């Protein structure tokens, strides 16, 4: 997902006061082993290593993993994915405990 979309959604939640009706949990950074439970090793290694300044070195993987337009490559991509996966896992645990 594009970071600016997340920023827009965050602003909508704040401006409409939806956060008052939500339980907010802090995500953690998932480790590679947790990420490979849902994605292949090659994909996790790809997002660990790709950066805006080395895109040309990963042309085959970009095509294979369908990265680009809707899933852009940006500085901090791997950390972003770690937090996203960690948040999803925290959310799944919370939902299963209710």
Per-residue burial over 40-74, b = 16 or more CB atoms within 10 Å of its CB, e = otherwise: eeebbebbeebeeeeeeebeebbeebebeeeeebe
% pLDDT > 70, the chain = 98
In a domain, 8, yes or no: no
In a domain, 22, yes or no: no
In a domain, 7, yes or no: no
Average pLDDT over residues 48-71: 93
In a domain, 10, yes or no: no
Count of structural domains within the chain: 1
| Structure confidence at residue 1 (pLDDT) | 67
Range of 85's domain?
27-96
What is the reported pTM? 0.85
């Amino acid at each position: 997902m594009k970071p600016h979309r997340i920023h827009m959604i965050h602003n909508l939640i704040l401006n409409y006061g939806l956060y008052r009706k939500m339980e907010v949990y802090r995500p953690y950074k998932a480790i590679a082993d947790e990420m490979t439970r849902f994605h292949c090793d090659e994909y996790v290694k790809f997002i660990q290593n790709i950066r805006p300044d080395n895109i040309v070195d990963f042309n085959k993987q970009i095509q294979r993993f369908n990265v680009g337009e809707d899933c852009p490559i940006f500085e901090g991509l791997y950390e972003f994915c770690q937090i996203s996966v960690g948040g999803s896992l925290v959310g799944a645990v919370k939902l299963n405990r209710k």
